Structure formats: C-alpha cells, structure tokens
A and B are shown apart, each in its own frame.
Chain A
C-alpha cells in the first residue's frame, strides 16, 4: 500500500510543511492506547445514564409509569418528556425526532425515558422497569408501500418527507434518438458506521451552572444549538468539547447522547456519563440510507451519453435527520462525472419504521454510483466499446457544463484519474490476472469505475472561522472547532498554520472542537473540515503576522517594511527578535495576543431548480480499478487488488491522504460485500459484530493509491476535500468486476455470498440479472 509522492514533492518543494509526511500529532497516543476518549472518562461523584427505549417499532403511547424504575436502589432520577424545559425535538435540518417520546414511538430506538443512577447496573435495570402502555400500530417497513396513499402513516403529514424533481433538457426525445437505452433497478443496503467508539459522552455543570458536555460529535456548535434549544436556554450557556472522537463517518453529526446528558446534568447537578452499548448503537444509531434506484440511460453508437433518467427512493426510517440533503447529493451524483445533456431525476425521501438513516460517508453518492456505473458498463458492452474508453469519452473536462446545466468552477481532474487507472497494474495486466484464478471453480474479473462528489454544503450558506493566539513562549494556539474524528485534521491544521506563521509545526497547538476555546469553524463533515478550517487559519494568519511585524518594529526600532520572517523570528538586515520576545512584549504592554478571522465558503447564488444544495462550487473526483475472484461454488467474492486515483486537489499530508483513501476503500468493501443491517418488520436483527459483518484484516486487498493533484483555487494551498470520495466508486467497481468474472450482473448490494450464489444459479428475483454474452 503506497502513494506515489514524486509529483507532490516536486511541486511543493518550496514549502516547508505542507505536502510533507508530517507524523500524525494524535498518532502515538492512539496506536499505543494512551489516548482517552470520552467513553473512557470517569469523574468523582459521576452518575451513569441509560435510555429506556421503545418496545415496539410503531405504537401510540397511552401512559408512562416510572414508579417501579424509581424504586431500584441507586436510581437518582428518571426523566420523561414532561421534564424537557424547551423544545422536545432534534434534527439539524428537520427537527422531527423527539428527545423523549410523549404520544408515539416510531422505531425501536426511540427514547421514552432516561435514567441516571449511581451504578451502570442500576441504570440498566431501571430503564428496563419503565412501564409504558403502548397501543401497537401497523409497522411500515417497505418504502415503496409506504409511498402509497393508503399506507399507515409514520408522521401526520404522510410518509413522503421530501419529493424532489430536477430536470434538464428533454430525456424522452433523447431516448427516441438514442442507439442504445439501458434501464435497470438497483438496490443498496443499510450500512452501519460501526465506529470503534460507540456514541458516548459526559455531561456536567460548571461553577456558574452552565452545561459542559464532553461528547463524541462532529460539530460542537451544532450540538450546542440543539442542546440549548431543548433546554430552552441561550446557546452560550452550553459548552461542548468534541475531540478526540473514536470514529464518526457521519454517524455522529446528529444529536445522540448530548441532549439527554444535558438534561440529566441539569437535574442532578452531578457529572453524568452515557455510553451506548454496541447493540444500542445498532438499534438507535444512524445508518446509511438504503436506496432503490431505477435508472434509464441512453447513448449514441459511438458511446456518447445522451440522457439519464432516475427514480430514487431513499428509506430515511422514522425521522428525517439529514435525509433531505442526502437526497440532494444522491440526485447530484446520479449522473456521475459525465457530460449528459438531458437529465430527469425524480427522488423521494420516505419515512418508515426502519430505524433512522442519516449522514454516512458518501452521503447518498455510493448508492446512485452503483446504478450509474452498472448502466454504463452495460452500454459499453452493448456497443462493444472498452469500459475505460467510454468513461474517458464522457468524462467532464475543464470548462465543461456539468450534468445539471452549470459550469464546473473548481479544478477538474477526472480525466486524468482515468489515465492513471488505465496505467495501473491491475488494468494493464488484467488479462493475465484473470487467467490465473486460485482454483478451477474460481473466476476472476476486473472493472474500472469513477466517482464524483462535491465537498461542503453546495449552494447552502457555509462559513468558518479560526483564532490564533501567541503564547509567552512564542508558540501558537490555533482555535478550530472541527473535531478530530480520525481524519488527521489536527495535523493538517498544524501544517497549514506552521507554513503560514513561519514556525515549526511543533510550535502549533490546535485547540480543537471546544465551543469555548475555538470559534465556529463548522462541522467535520461533507469532506470539508480541511478546506473550511484550513482557509480559516489562512485568513487569520496574516492578521497574526501583521501583529508580529508591527510589534517587532517597535522592539527593534526599524520600519515594518524592512522586516521579514525567518524560523520563528522576525529579522531585519542587522537585527533579530524571536516570537517569544514579541509575545512577552505584547504581554507586558497589555496588548491583544489573539486574532480571529473567517471566510465565507463560495457558493452559487441560487440552487438548481428543485434542489436544495446543487451545485457545489467544486468537486472531488476518483477512478477505481478492482480485481476480484468469485468462488462459484460458494458465492464468496474476494477482492484481491484495488487501485484508486483520487483528485482531491493538492495534498497537505501524504500519510494522512493514503490513510484516508485506504480507510474509505475498506469501508466501501463492506458496503460492497457484507454490510447490511437486517431489519424485519421494524426489528433489527443484526446489531453487533457477530451478525453484522465488517471487513477484517483478512479481507483487505493489496491497495494502491495514486493521486492526481489538481490545484483548487478555493482550497488551502490548492487542496480539496478527501474523506468521502474514496468510498464512492468501490461498490460499483466490485459489482462490475463480479460481472466481468462470472457474466452475472448483480442489481443489489452488498454482494453477499448468498446473493452471488443464487444469482450465479440463475434464481430470479434474488439480486441478479443478465448473462454476459459469449465471445
């Protein structure tokens, strides 16, 4: 596993820290186990909290009785909906989920009461003893059925939370004039985040009675807002600290334990800890939206894409969470990074009683990517065009108009990533690899697919700020609120700050994700933490540099214009003053030692009609190549080699870059092959690692990452986002490679052994269709 670095180092040789493999600041603590996460916290006088959750996937609440639960020795308090002083709801985009249910439960994870006790066992027992009189309601488990007018309603307003229609051109006319038209329906699974650290945190009061939350989340300020709204207090009375986080992947972008902890801390005036169990996380936590995508794609005989029509149904479960914007990203990515003049997308976000779906790395893109890339391979085969060539032919190029009728403004390297894919070992030697399976009953296949995704919130308003303070020792404390969720943000911020402040990377301390210490830099989500935080630092650094120069000029008695920076000093032709001396001067004179600056993320004035956030200002791109081997006797698919070429702009830290890509690929392999939360009639059947299968070290293929470094003018030092792009093409690459190996095309992911086996046996309605033409 490696990243080719030659191009990185050539272009960035004039930079001292950016583009260099600086060791992760949080690396040693994490690999040695010394890092303490919030689930490790233990404080004197601390209580333990447990949520009493619904016993039905859908039911009316007639009565709640906590008397038996309160009698459990060690129980300190039990809260119900009556104890919520503010707004009883949460949801960043649509706050439709009750903090504590009062009239109805809509999934098994719904919270009815929350207990605080002296011991975890007492809290657990009391939660079990909360008595609720339920009147069961019909369970809505099929999103297609849920859309029918006579379906039982999950919410009063009906089960279609959002219906979006985006049209460009005239697809029907294009279909009539096309040489080939392909239409299929694809389904994807309900993937769980399965972060190592489950949802957890500790809540307490400070000396002034304000709420302090140490909690694993993806944005302290969004958490602050949701907590203060539920408590009916000013946001300033809630401090949220959210670093380090033991994995998130979108699953901690929404409220999980935050509001319950705040309510209990306020009531008991003692520290309270809540850590969900793995099973609880499986039942109550967010999931990736399962989608049903019917896609009809047309091309001319020379392989030019002419039209794409898609009907997308996304199962958001019981509550909207971030579903409305997930639907937008699904729409935006349904046409891939290709020039397609005629588009017709009809997308639905549907309520059911199937858990709750929300943000998950890729945010709706991997699902539709599977459909688009499968259809494209089918078209290529029908037209007898090479699968890589058809992608090159249609790939967006600089200056092109994107699929939704807008000009692509950011850097655009999809074509170049395809060239990398073409030159990859797997693609060049594919026939040789395919001819040497490990057993006579095994078949090998290779496929190439592409991906695109905007970073940031697209047409939605977005902004971020950072602070820089110089300490008496001449070092810098940089405040950025995007949490370190494992992506390497703290190290990347340090590199950017050190470069901009002319100091050693070790002289930068990142005060990360603390709503009291760091200004609002936004969320660690949407592959945006690096760009938003990095740009905010680059906005603040000139202010600090100006302060340093002005102060140094006073100290050395020279004009500011004659001074320059060199290795944590300000120097003139004859004199030199260290940053420490400048800081001490500022302190002695009672001067300000901290600067704050921010930036507004560029956005278009108006989204594409019918959408919320389309288009994004700039996009990440990738091409992927997979080599798989399918055991035709068992249906087991093994990915042997995987190649990824991302265009994420300039690389800030090659080590973190490779790590992000490898992690994304492996998580994508789970999406492709094994990961699917089974929910039957509202009951979660796979809520732990025994039944929900994620890739292990034994399943990880040989991975090669070869970046294309475009220069993104709105990114810090030309960087774009990276976190999500690597996962998006994995499912489609694996599925297309299975077809290349076996001649059987799967229309459902994950490609579990059962699905592959039954598809190979030609069983109808089990996830496969089409047999490869011979010759």
Chain B
C-alpha cells in the first residue's frame, strides 16, 4: 500500500515523527514516496510506529483522517496526543 505504484505518479511527502513525549522529543525526519492515491493510513503503514490508531497526523496545523489523501510536497507531522502547560 505504501510503496510506489508502478503506474501512478508518486507523491513525495516529508514526515516528522515525534515519539512518546516523556521519552523521545527530537523528531525523526524522513521522506517517503507513496503512490498517487496514498492516504494517511498508507503513510502510517509505511513507517514503524506504535499505537497507530491513536496518533495525530497533522498537515498545516490540521489533523487528517485515516482516509485523507496526501499531496505531493506535503509536510506531515506524526504526533502522539500531547497536553501540558
């Protein structure tokens, strides 16, 4: 799902992954190439993270749904739920 489609035009997305806030705070950055109809769910299936259902996938300050389509050039944050003061 997350791999490049042999026929479609790929989308390149930059992903910043944040770990559990109490443990790892520096983001891991990577660039993924996904197929043209890739969704956030495809993105999550392409990376190694825990508790995928409960992570926040954020583009331009907006949380995306699992079915949200990704766009070429997107910068995506993968963030665990955080609160604090």
A residues near B (Cβ < 8 Å) are 92-94, 162, 218-219, 221-222, 225, 228-229, 234-236, 250, 253, 320, 322, 324-326, 328-329, 359, 362-364, 453, 457-465, 519-520, 523, 525-527, 536, 539, 596-600, 605-607, 612-613, 724
Apart from A94-B22, A461-B77, A520-B63, 20 more pairs, CB < 8 Å: A229-B54, A253-B83, A322-B85, A325-B84, A364-B85, A457-B85, A460-B21, A460-B82, A461-B27, A462-B82, A526-B85, A527-B85, A598-B58, A599-B61, A600-B61, A605-B26, A606-B25, A607-B25, A612-B21, A613-B84
| Most chain A CB within a 10 A radius of its CB, from B53, B77, B84 | B84
The interface bits of chain B over 7-40 (1 if a CB of A lies within 8 angstroms of the residue's CB, else 0) are 0000000001010011001110000000000000
B46 to chain A, nearest CB (A): 19
Please report the C-alpha to C-alpha distance between residue A539 and residue B60 in the assembled complex, in whole angstroms: 10
Cβ contacts under 8 Å, A235 to chain B:
53-54
Cβ contacts under 8 Å, A324 to chain B:
21-22
Please report the C-alpha to C-alpha distance between residue A362 and residue B83 in the assembled complex, in whole angstroms: 14
Q: Are A519 and B21 in contact (CB under 8 A)?
A: no
Contact of A459 among B16, B25, B63 (CB under 8 A): B25
Q: Are B54 and A597 in contact (CB under 8 A)?
A: no
| Most chain A CB within a 10 A radius of its CB, from B26, B53, B54, B81 | B81
The interface bits of chain B over 49-63 (1 if a CB of A lies within 8 angstroms of the residue's CB, else 0) are 001011010101111
Q: Are B22 and A93 in contact (CB under 8 A)?
A: yes
Q: Are A363 and B18 in contact (CB under 8 A)?
A: no
Q: Are B54 and A228 in contact (CB under 8 A)?
A: yes
Please report the C-alpha to C-alpha distance between residue A282 and residue B33 in the assembled complex, in whole angstroms: 53
Say whether B65 faces chain A, with CB atoms less than 8 Å apart: yes
B71 to chain A, nearest CB (A): 15
Cβ contacts under 8 Å, A461 to chain B:
16, 18, 27, 58, 77, 79, 82
Q: Are A600 and B83 in contact (CB under 8 A)?
A: no
Cβ contacts under 8 Å, B51 to chain A:
229
B75 to chain A, nearest CB (A): 9
Q: Are A606 and B26 in contact (CB under 8 A)?
A: yes
B29 to chain A, nearest CB (A): 10
B2 to chain A, nearest CB (A): 20
Q: Are B83 and A222 in contact (CB under 8 A)?
A: yes
B51 to chain A, nearest CB (A): 8
**A228-B54, A465-B61 known; A612 and B83 CB under 8 Å?**
no
Q: Are A525 and B82 in contact (CB under 8 A)?
A: no
**A359-B83, A364-B85, A600-B60 known; A325 and B26 CB under 8 Å?**
no
Contact of B85 among A219, A359, A598, A606 (CB under 8 A): A359
Interface residues on B, range: 20 to 34
Please report the C-alpha to C-alpha distance between residue A527 and residue B84 in the assembled complex, in whole angstroms: 10
Contact of B81 among A222, A459, A596 (CB under 8 A): A222
Contact of B22 among A229, A234, A362, A612 (CB under 8 A): A612
Please report the C-alpha to C-alpha distance between residue A526 and residue B84 in the assembled complex, in whole angstroms: 6
Cβ contacts under 8 Å, A322 to chain B:
83-85
Q: Are B84 and A465 in contact (CB under 8 A)?
A: no
A-B pairs, 8 with minimum CB distance? A598-B61, A363-B85, A325-B84, A598-B62, A599-B61, A465-B62, A526-B85, A463-B61
B62 to chain A, nearest CB (A): 4
**A93-B21, A228-B53, A235-B54 known; A457 and B62 CB under 8 Å?**
no
Cβ contacts under 8 Å, B56 to chain A:
520
Cβ contacts under 8 Å, A520 to chain B:
56, 62-63
Please report the C-alpha to C-alpha distance between residue A608 and residue B58 in the assembled complex, in whole angstroms: 24
Q: Are B61 and A539 in contact (CB under 8 A)?
A: yes
B45 to chain A, nearest CB (A): 15
Cβ contacts under 8 Å, A598 to chain B:
58, 60-62
Cβ contacts under 8 Å, B77 to chain A:
461, 463, 600
Q: Are A525 and B60 in contact (CB under 8 A)?
A: no
Contact of B61 among A236, A457, A459, A464 (CB under 8 A): A464
Please report the C-alpha to C-alpha distance between residue A236 and residue B18 in the assembled complex, in whole angstroms: 22
Cβ contacts under 8 Å, B60 to chain A:
597-600
Contact of B84 among A225, A460, A536 (CB under 8 A): A460
- Which residue of chain B has its CB nearest to the CB of A462? B82
Please report the C-alpha to C-alpha distance between residue A607 and residue B82 in the assembled complex, in whole angstroms: 15
Cβ contacts under 8 Å, B84 to chain A:
93, 322, 325-326, 328-329, 359, 363, 457-458, 460, 525-526, 613
Please report the C-alpha to C-alpha distance between residue A596 and residue B64 in the assembled complex, in whole angstroms: 12
Cβ contacts under 8 Å, A221 to chain B:
63, 81
Cβ contacts under 8 Å, B53 to chain A:
228-229, 234-235
Cβ contacts under 8 Å, B18 to chain A:
460-461
Please report the C-alpha to C-alpha distance between residue A669 and residue B65 in the assembled complex, in whole angstroms: 45
Q: List 19 A-B contacts (CB under 8 A).
A: A92-B83, A93-B22, A222-B81, A228-B53, A234-B53, A253-B83, A322-B83, A322-B85, A325-B84, A359-B83, A457-B83, A459-B25, A461-B27, A463-B62, A463-B79, A519-B62, A526-B84, A600-B58, A605-B26
| Most chain B CB within a 10 A radius of its CB, from A221, A228, A459, A460 | A460
Cβ contacts under 8 Å, B81 to chain A:
92, 221-222, 225
Please report the C-alpha to C-alpha distance between residue A461 and residue B27 in the assembled complex, in whole angstroms: 9
